[in-house]
């Protein structure tokens, strides 16, 4: 069995063995344990699981220093960013505890028996239940927030689904450490054995997705990686839901008025956004549409000056570094694409990348600039007029985000851009930058293919819907119903005979 | 181009040409028109589309006699059943109008800008928007309720998605007639051209699912048909959501006490359920678990007597008749399966099927009885004790429904059966029969594969969720937001800063 090495991106060298690849029969055993844990985790109830999530958050925070230090050594993302990421991870675990307390996510509905134009209707009661054990694939670029303790894991555990995580090979030591912290905390909180498991290795990941106990897959990664998993799923006797967050170009539009009014501020914002975390965000703006003419020129000048002033940055791993080298070479050699500015050359060891600002014309937008290139590069496409701008946007693939930067109080052009982009993006931003995805109730992090499978989010409270499925009880005796579907239960919002009722609302009779 | 013939199941002969197969370039043109109609249909708003749905229902009812007569000639389902089916179709169109008026389906949420433990959060506003043009595949067994004007079409139009229906070859004349009625009504109601289209033929169906304008597929049909469409979808550059309602065994358990207490009533109920509509329901109980011993013997005797008294029934088409002949032959020749009773032999022309009651043992339950066999046949499996019963249930594939018939006030065994079956069924019934699926708010018609893809329903109000996707607006100026996300809008339930608020709730300031 192969060893799993921890690698330091700042040197490019392996540091130590932190685990070994999980054998297929071990994967099977972990999946079976997850299946056994499922009814017990569900039986903890909403309150029990809310408590569990809070314990997990507390445990991570108690080990903050160790976790951040190891994650920094394995990712070179820097301790400030990783400290913030751990805070985010704790926050999202606690937010899902609130989701459980609030209870709307159950979509509880009761239709009492009665007459209808189609004849008598039986008593029907519907709510969402856990889908079963979930496989979560950790992402390279968020060792804490989209990995072992990340958004998918938090959402799945909240839903009542045991989780088997496939560790990303880019931070196996961090994965192993936070896994151990979480498992200890889960045990102390009374969660069943098998609530959370971890596997290492490509083959283990394939075995995981193929295992009959696994009922859904959460994945954040490349389009090719996602497609490989979909192929495995389609070969199962029982295909299961796959929730992939895959590839996103994130077009950003600067209107002529915005360029005129605030070039320096916008240049700072865009350069900050596409080089943040060494450009390794799924929401990185990869295509920036800038007007032609003098104001556009000034904006480009400001952007170029800032890029030239940037140091080379460390990428997460050898594969991403090689792919950045290939991708930028391909862009640079594309006819019609010019290099506008380069950051300072790499002078240190490891997986370094030089930030890069490229320029092309919106009129003849080459196919090559329509693909996501992970790393600190963006392409500016100049447009001559609105028709050219909208035609270019129509050619962009669907994305997680689309952005428009407006002039003060400007609405007409932004409205037309928004209308067009709403067809091909999950989040539409005004006067902001797409990197940085707040975890909240109204967030959506998803979009039509290739960004995701379009109907669900992987960030924010509604991410829980991915790991639930509806069940309807017909004519069930009260004592065999889940609490939330009994007549006298008032603790969650419910739809009763078609009317939505808030929690705690007392029936009229009780007040009298 | 091939003609499409209307066939009479009662004679087995073709009656008349009602259409011709739609050529691939015509399919493309209809899809393009659907795409053009999409923003206009959405712009009609919730009220506009609610009005549209009501007009469609009215128009169908105005042509009730013609529609029922033609559907009866093409399906042999009888005018009483088809009359009820038309009523159901009108009812579900009007129920979706209520869904639009009520507005919860938008899942509107507003998070105002503010401070969080992770720093400042921008203003985020989320709601569901139409996914785009939808392909709907009509089912053979519901020429009105799951076909051109059926549940998928009603849900998609309500969502704001134009629909292109692939007519089922089993009732092309009915499809064409109701399509014309609906298109006229839609036009009169002010819906854009391209709101609803119809195609005929297998190749047209394949071209439809592959067309780039189509954003989701609703399908009710066989497992093999569904898999063929999934294969086409996976070859698209942008795979789209597929919602298939495919195959369902629908196990039904009779407890020893139930058999003891009310054998005659249960025999009548089961035989009525598995032979209703000539056994051509996706919710037909295909496996009935009956206790051994005297009370079980008595129940079987009652069932057998009733089956022997039944006439042969017409199946929907030649393919289903051939498949019923093959499927029942396979069951009868399976070692361990005995013929308990047959209905009266066929004495008329056409696609006739003789009702059939088979018996086997739960202990050695053969693989062959685990597959759905469309038509008036069911298999009774006798269990010696609870362990045998639960072991048999554990081996059944997932289904749309599972049922337990209890003794008076009995809860212990039903609770254990319910717990087990909840893992593998979307609806769990007590003391009822699974055929007959009420259209309501709390209904769920779905379940893990192979019954469906498990997370959504194709019957009831929540079916609309399949044809929607979330979008979040970040820092959007009020005038560029949809009405339902503006601060001063109070017409739909919304979640504001994490708190669910009912529609029409006045803010405190306004009341003061």
* Three-state DSSP string of A155-204: HHHHHCCCEEEECCCCCHHHHHHHHHHHHHHHHHCCCCCCCEEEECCHHH
User: A88 to chain B: which residues are within 8 Å by CB?
Assistant: 118
CA distance A3 to chain B (A): 35
Nearest-by-Cβ selection for B472 from A118, A124, A442: A442
pLDDT tens, residue by residue, B87-116:
999 999 999 999 999 999 999 999 999 999
Query: Which helix (DSSP H) or strand (DSSP E) does residue B36 occupy?
Result: helix B24-43
Give percent of chain A above pLDDT 90. 95
| Beta carbons of A195 and A160 less than 8 angstroms apart | no
pLDDT given at position B505: 54
Mutation choice for B interface testing from A470, A477, A482, A497 by most B CBs within 10 A: A470
Predicted confidence (pLDDT) at residue A240 exceeds the cutoff of 90: yes
- Asked whether the beta carbons of residue B432 and residue A498 sit closer than 8 angstroms, the reply is no
> How many other CB atoms are there within 10 angstroms of residue A231's CB atom?
12
- On average, the pLDDT of chain A sits at 96
Helices assigned H by DSSP within B220-262: 223-235, 256-261
User: B121 to chain A: which residues are within 8 Å by CB?
Assistant: 438, 440
Count helices and strands in chain A by DSSP H and E runs? 15, 23
Query: By C-alpha distance, which of A254, A448, A400, A413 is closest to B472?
Result: A400
- By annotation, the residues of A acting in catalysis are 245, 282
Q: What span, in angstroms and rounded, lies between the C-alpha atoms of B155 and B97?
A: 10
- Asked whether the beta carbons of residue B443 and residue A126 sit closer than 8 angstroms, the reply is yes
Nearest-by-Cβ selection for A448 from B39, B238, B440: B238
- Asked whether the beta carbons of residue B448 and residue A441 sit closer than 8 angstroms, the reply is no
pLDDT given at position B1: 66
DSSP string, A425-470: EEEEEESS-SS----STT-----TTTTS-SS--SSSGGGGGGGEEE
Record the tokens describing residue B379, joined without a space: 């298999």
Residues of chain B with pLDDT under 50: 506-512
| Beta carbons of B404 and B253 less than 8 angstroms apart | yes
Q: What span, in angstroms and rounded, lies between the C-alpha atoms of B232 and A292?
A: 43
pLDDT given at position B512: 33
pLDDT given at position B504: 84
Predicted confidence (pLDDT) at residue A506 exceeds the cutoff of 60: no
CA distance B144 to chain A (A): 14
| Beta carbons of B481 and B473 less than 8 angstroms apart | yes
Query: Which helix (DSSP H) or strand (DSSP E) does residue B177 occupy?
Result: helix B172-188
pLDDT, average across residues A373-382: 97
| Beta carbons of A238 and B398 less than 8 angstroms apart | yes
Q: What span, in angstroms and rounded, lies between the C-alpha atoms of A495 and A492?
A: 10
* Predicted complex ipTM exceeds 0.90: yes
Query: By C-alpha distance, which of B453, B274, B448, B268 is closest to B374?
Result: B274
User: Per-residue confidence at A505, pLDDT binned at 50, 70, 90?
Assistant: low
Nearest-by-Cβ selection for A495 from B238, B441, B474: B441
pLDDT given at position A118: 85
Extended beta strands in B335-375, E state: 338-342, 352-353, 356-361
| Beta carbons of A233 and A151 less than 8 angstroms apart | no
pLDDT given at position A348: 77
Quick one: B479 exposed, middle or buried, by C-beta within 10 A (0-12, 13-18, 19+)? exposed
Residue B282: active-site member: yes
pLDDT, average across residues A377-391: 98
User: A425 to chain B: which residues are within 8 Å by CB?
Assistant: 471
pLDDT tens, residue by residue, A112-145:
999 998 889 999 999 999 999 999 999 999 999 9
Indicate the Cα dihedral angle A308, A314, A315, A319, nearest 10°: 110
């Amino acid at each position: 069995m192969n060893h799993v090495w921890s690698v330091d991106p700042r040197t490019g060298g392996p540091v130590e063995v932190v685990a070994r690849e999980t054998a297929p029969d071990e994967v099977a055993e972990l999946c079976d344990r997850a299946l056994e844990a499922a009814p017990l985790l569900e039986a903890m109830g909403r309150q029990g699981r809310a408590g569990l999530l809070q314990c997990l958050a507390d445990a991570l925070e108690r080990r903050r220093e160790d976790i951040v230090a190891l994650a920094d050594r394995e990712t070179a993302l820097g301790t400030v960013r990783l400290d913030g990421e751990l805070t985010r991870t704790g926050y999202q675990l606690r937010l899902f505890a609130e989701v459980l307390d609030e209870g709307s996510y159950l979509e509880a509905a009761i239709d009492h028996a009665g007459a209808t134009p189609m004849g008598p209707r039986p008593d029907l009661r519907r709510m969402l239940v856990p889908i079963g054990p979930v496989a979560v694939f950790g992402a390279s670029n968020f060792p804490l927030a989209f990995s072992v303790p990340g958004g998918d894991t938090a959402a799945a555990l909240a839903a009542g689904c045991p989780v088997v995580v496939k560790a990303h090979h880019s931070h196996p030591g961090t994965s192993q450490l936070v896994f151990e912290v979480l498992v200890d905390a889960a045990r102390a909180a009374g969660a069943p054995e098998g609530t959370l498991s971890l596997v290492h290795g490509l083959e283990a990941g394939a075995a995981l997705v193929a295992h009959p106990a696994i009922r859904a897959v959460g994945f954040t990664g490349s389009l090719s990686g996602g497609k490989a998993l979909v192929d495995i799923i389609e070969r199962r006797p029982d295909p299961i839901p796959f929730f992939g967050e895959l590839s996103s170009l994130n077009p950003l539009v600067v209107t002529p008025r915005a360029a005129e009014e605030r070039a320096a501020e916008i240049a700072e914002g865009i350069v900050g956004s596409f080089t943040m975390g060494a450009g390794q965000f799924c929401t990185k703006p990869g295509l920036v549409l800038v007007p032609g003419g003098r104001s556009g020129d000034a904006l480009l000048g400001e952007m170029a000056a800032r890029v030239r002033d940037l140091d080379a940055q460390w990428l997460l791993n050898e594969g991403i570094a090689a792919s950045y080298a290939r991708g930028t070479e391909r862009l640079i050699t594309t006819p019609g694409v010019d290099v506008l500015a380069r950051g300072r050359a790499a002078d240190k060891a490891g997986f370094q990348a030089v930030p890069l600002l490229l320029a092309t014309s919106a009129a003849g937008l080459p196919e090559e600039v329509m693909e996501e290139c992970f790393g600190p590069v963006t392409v500016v496409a100049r447009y001559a007029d609105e028709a050219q701008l909208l035609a270019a946007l129509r050619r962009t693939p669907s994305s997680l985000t689309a952005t428009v930067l407006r002039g003060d109080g400007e609405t007409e052009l932004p409205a037309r851009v928004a209308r067009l982009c709403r067809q091909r993006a999950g989040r539409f931003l005004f006067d902001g930058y797409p990197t940085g995805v707040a975890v909240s109730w109204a967030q959506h992090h998803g979009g039509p293919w290739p960004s995701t499978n379009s109907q669900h989010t992987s960030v924010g409270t509604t991410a829980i819907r991915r790991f639930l499925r509806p069940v309807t009880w017909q004519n069930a005796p009260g004592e065999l119903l889940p609490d939330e579907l009994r007549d006298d239960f008032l603790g969650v919002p419910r739809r009763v005979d078609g009317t939505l009722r808030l929690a705690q609302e007392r029936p009229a009779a009780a007040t009298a």
